[in-house]
Structure 1
Amino acid sequence: MTEYGRGAGSEPWHPEDPLYGDQGWGAQQAASGQAPHGGQQQPQHQQQYYPQDQYAPQPQEQYVPQPQGQYVPQPHYAEQPQQGYPQQQYPAQPHYPDQYAQQPQQPQQPQQYNGGWDTGQQAAMPYAGHQADPYNDGYAGESHDFYGTPEAYPPPQPPGQRQAPVVPEVPEQGQEWDAEAEPEEEKHPFFTGVGDSEGEDDDPRESRRGGRDRRGKTKNKKKGKSGRACLVLTVIFAVGVGGVGYVGYEFYQSKFGAAPDYVGEGSGETVTVEVPTGAGGSEIGQLLKQAGVVKSIDAFVQAQNDNPKGKTIQAGAYTLKKGMSAANAVALMLNPSSRNALIIPEGKRDAWVYEQIDKRLGVPDGTTKNVAFKSADSLGLPDWAKGHKNVKDPLEGFLYPASYPVAKGMKPEDVLRKMVNRASSEYGKQDLAAEARKLGLEGPWQVITVASLVQAEGKTHDDFTKMAEVVYNRLKPDNTQTNQKLQFDSAYNYLTGKSNIKIGLAEINSNPDPYNTYKWRGLTPGPIGNPGSEALAAALSPTNEGWMYFVATDGEQKTEFAKTLPEFNKLKEKFNGQSGQ
């Protein structure tokens, strides 16, 4: 029998404790001296009580096995204490036999319970004897001592509340009992796999052995659910690792890997890409990627850097193929055949520009001119360029000389709007209104008109500045040599739409068109062409040397100037002599 005493282990069980001994659960077990089965009373042992004397030797019970399974207590006396000192009682160490091994029963001695429950008084509490087990199913000769098996620690509980016993290690003599030696089993449902209803003993009538079997099955269920929980954690971990790996790979590719690129010269489908003025490699690459020409911007930038002429790609419209490698796209853009850019030379009239746009867009002749005349005010003209009388073309002077993308699929109004916006931007870089007042002109509109005349008559930069002075000198009120008439052949050619060098006096004098500067004083109603930046600069900064006349002595390339009429006549003779007249 196991002895319980005060020590480092568990607290002793007092007879007053309702769970002490086997007093029955809910009237299921017969009380002492009653017959548990059918009124047949089992013999039981009598308790022997001895008066409490902490200095006297105490008798102890000794159980002698009997053939009929009964025990007869035999009193004997413990060793006498030394004289003059009380005998100190030490609780015996509990012994836990192997619950699965078959061992013969050994005589046991009931250990003396030292220490009171509440008062601290020493009292002898021998075991009340061996009682019959109501769960023994009535087998003769078998009687179980609930305190003689491992399942008695902790003391037995009703069958519906029993659990598998935990057998702690027995410390050796002289060692202290470690109450925290055994870790508590994890009880969280996530790890145990036990739900709200699982793990409960549904049958309180189940025997202890059956309970162990049931607990074994529950343990298997716990293991199964724990395995599933671990599998879920493993899957989550694997997904997380995969996601991190993918992000890392993308980061590596973006920083150190080769840029995505197509292979080959592309498909048969062609597209037109417009490259604006001043666009760099990244901007061009983005336009090509959006059009489906190249696969990535980085690939194009790299190919442009690898090509020695890659940085020379100019603004304009390019006809390219979809799905091209970046290297092939750069090479094709450097080939003039791919460019759909319309280059407007300085001094060209609007009529020539309209014809070129119609050809490149593949539209009928006159389409662009009709759009220009009908939608002139909505194409971006500044306010000072609107509403002038007798103007032959509302956009003349505003189709600024430059390179423009013009290709099939584009609309005429979009092309014209780009040209007008470019002219407005260039003209807006200077205060033309203030400059006009300095030059005695009525406003920016007349400044552009003068620049167009200078552009049409001059050939070089020196020509432009001298030609600008000729214009201003002839417009002066005190001009008695030409009587404020410009007398420019270029203005007359504009109204006729021709470019003749020789014009008969009879024809000139008979034509009443407002652009005929031989007949009318002052400037033409509007520009006669599209001046460039040099002609505009010359119109704003003319020479001040007294130039009044000029003659293209070679007919085309060389222009000579004169200040007086006699000088002019000599120049005319020179021109006529060279021309054979």
Structure 2
Amino acid sequence: MAEKKAKNESKEIKKQQIRNVLLEKQNEAKIIRKIVSIICLILILVVGGSCIGGYFYIKSAMSPVNPEDHKAKTVEVPIGSGVSTIGKVLEDNGIIKSALIFKYYVKLNNEAGFQAGTYQLTPSMTFDELIETLKTGTLVKEVAMKITIPEGWSLQQIADAIAEKTDYQRNDVLEKLNNREFIEELMGKYPNLITEAILNENIQYPLEGYLFPATYSYYETNPSLESVIEDMLKKTNDILTKYKSNIEEKEMEPHELLTLASLIEKEATEKADRHKISSVFYNRIETGMPLQTDPTVLYALGEHKKRVLYEDLEVDSPYNTYKIKGLPPGPIANAGEISIEAALNPEETDYLYFLAETGTGEIHYSHTLEEHNEKKAKYIVNKK
């Protein structure tokens, strides 16, 4: 009887063990089903999210980079460029957001026949406008207004040019160019170009020499004054960036470079070798001689005169390089790239004097004052 009871108990234990195993498997199955359900849900969300995200990405990529930015950029499309190359060129220049999306848009619309060349494109242009432009080789949008700044112009002359082409008054332009808050904002945007040096109390105009001479095209009749000024400033920043290694090698500050370049620009004639003129300034600085350049006197006087008189040389000004040694406090004009490059790379000479021949503009160089005076007597008419 006891043996039979033991067998029954053993059977019950085995049944219970089997039930436990089954329950455990059922629980595992439930857990697995939950995990699978969660994974499926995640996959659905991921796929769905990707589709939605992809839709908005493509929609965004097909939209203009900035519908409000009508500033033209010069974009070069090389000969033999395929749609992939063109898309990359446009993306690199900030004209489109995605070269890949542009490529597929062109393919889906069976567009072809793009022309190589130099284009003026804006970040506000749509894909269709860009395609039309690249197919016809013409601009979709007409230039509404151009401002041309010649090399060697002073900031006051630039203010006149801006006022002439826009609705702003000359005084409005000068006031903006001297606005401390605006200047500090620009210093924040271009820290490698604009330093505290422009805030020297002896400087007449902080941004003198910083507005690059060039032609600026606009697709609106009256662009903001801030944008016009910043375009000119950005151009100067771009030019100096090209010569970053030269500037570092010379251990020159941008302000010092633009000041020297402005002197070279004002002294140079069409026939002048700016590198030789640069060498004369370097040689004088190294020997401790005043630069004695007439354009600084005229800048100090605030006048445009054909001749500088002996009495003019007595003007009391930190810009008068007949009285001070070294460079003046800041630029006296806005120099072009040739003068900037010459300021960085003077020719190796031992000249200390130069003068421009009356009538021809030919530049004559001298080693000594005696030699210089002889050439003045020979080549200068109505000398001071």
Q: 1:513 aligns with which of 317, 325, 328?
A: 317
Counterpart of 1:489?
A: 294
Counterpart of 2:363?
A: 559
Contact 2:117/2:137 (8 A) holds in 1:
no
Matched, 1:444 2:250: no
CA–CA distance in 2 between the matches of 1:513 and 1:400?
Answer: 26
Taking only the aligned residue pairs, the percentage that are identical comes to: 25
CA–CA distance in 2 between the matches of 1:547 and 1:356?
Answer: 37
Q: 2:339 aligns with which of 531, 535, 559?
A: 535
CA–CA distance in 1 between the matches of 2:274 and 2:291?
Answer: 16
Greater C-alpha Rg: 1
* Deviation readout 1:503-531 (Å, 9 max, x if unpaired): 1111221x112111122222111011122
Please state whether the residue corresponding to 1:560 is helix, strand or coil: strand
Matched, 1:403 2:208: no
Contact 2:71/2:217 (8 A) holds in 1:
yes
CA–CA distance in 2 between the matches of 1:302 and 1:370?
Answer: 50
Aligned residues: 283
Counterpart of 1:47?
A: none
Change in 2 beyond 3 A, CA 1:316/1:500? farther
Q: 1:368 aligns with which of 173, 178, 181?
A: 173
Q: 1:463 aligns with which of 273, 285, 288?
A: 273
Q: 2:204 aligns with which of 392, 395, 415?
A: 392
Counterpart of 2:283?
A: 473
CA–CA distance in 1 between the matches of 2:269 and 2:361?
Answer: 6
Contact 1:273/1:287 (8 A) holds in 2:
no
CA–CA distance in 2 between the matches of 1:340 and 1:369?
Answer: 21
Listed as ranges, the matches of 1:176-191 within 5 Å are none
Counterpart of 1:414?
A: 227
Change in 2 beyond 3 A, CA 1:426/1:575? same
Q: Which amino acid aligns with 2:151?
A: E
CA–CA distance in 2 between the matches of 1:419 and 1:491?
Answer: 23
Counterpart of 2:150?
A: 345
Q: 1:311 aligns with which of 94, 104, 117?
A: 117
TM-score (norm 1): 0.42
CA–CA distance in 1 between the matches of 2:346 and 2:298?
Answer: 24
Please state whether the residue corresponding to 1:524 is helix, strand or coil: coil
Alpha-carbon deviation of 1:492? 1.7
Contact 1:343/1:404 (8 A) holds in 2:
yes
CA–CA distance in 2 between the matches of 1:556 and 1:274?
Answer: 40
CA–CA distance in 2 between the matches of 1:569 and 1:346?
Answer: 30
Q: 1:574 aligns with which of 368, 378, 384?
A: 378
What runs of 5+ residues in structure 2 fail to find an aligned partner? 1-67, 78-85, 97-104, 124-128
Counterpart of 1:358?
A: 163
Change in 2 beyond 3 A, CA 1:431/1:394? farther
Counterpart of 1:275?
A: 72
Change in 2 beyond 3 A, CA 1:395/1:315? farther
Contact 1:313/1:334 (8 A) holds in 2:
no
Alpha-carbon deviation of 1:543? 1.6
Alpha-carbon deviation of 1:277? 2.8
Alpha-carbon deviation of 1:302? 6.6
CA–CA distance in 2 between the matches of 1:544 and 1:536?
Answer: 17
CA–CA distance in 2 between the matches of 1:408 and 1:272?
Answer: 14
Contact 1:489/1:503 (8 A) holds in 2:
yes
> Where is the helix percentage greater, Structure 1 or Structure 2?
2
Change in 2 beyond 3 A, CA 1:359/1:537? same
CA–CA distance in 1 between the matches of 2:298 and 2:290?
Answer: 16
Please state whether the residue corresponding to 2:71 is helix, strand or coil: strand
Alpha-carbon deviation of 1:334? 10
Please state whether the residue corresponding to 1:409 is helix, strand or coil: coil
Alpha-carbon deviation of 1:361? 2.1
Counterpart of 1:220?
A: none
* Deviation readout 1:128-147 (Å, 9 max, x if unpaired): xxxxxxxxxxxxxxxxxxxx
Counterpart of 2:248?
A: 434
Listed as ranges, the matches of 1:157-172 within 5 Å are none
CA–CA distance in 1 between the matches of 2:159 and 2:121?
Answer: 20
Contact 2:95/2:122 (8 A) holds in 1:
no
Alpha-carbon deviation of 1:532? 1.9
Alpha-carbon deviation of 1:464? 0.7
CA RMSD, 1 decimal? 4.0
Change in 2 beyond 3 A, CA 1:414/1:520? same
Alpha-carbon deviation of 1:460? 5.1
Please state whether the residue corresponding to 1:469 is helix, strand or coil: helix
Counterpart of 1:5?
A: none
CA–CA distance in 2 between the matches of 1:474 and 1:433?
Answer: 20
Alpha-carbon deviation of 1:450? 0.9
CA–CA distance in 2 between the matches of 1:315 and 1:451?
Answer: 31
Please state whether the residue corresponding to 1:453 is helix, strand or coil: helix
Alpha-carbon deviation of 1:454? 0.9
Please state whether the residue corresponding to 2:365 is helix, strand or coil: strand
Matched, 1:454 2:264: yes
TM-score (norm 2): 0.62
What runs of 5+ residues in structure 1 fail to find an aligned partner? 1-270, 289-296, 318-322
CA–CA distance in 2 between the matches of 1:334 and 1:555?
Answer: 47
Q: Which amino acid aligns with 2:72?
A: V
Please state whether the residue corresponding to 2:199 is helix, strand or coil: coil
CA–CA distance in 2 between the matches of 1:372 and 1:556?
Answer: 37
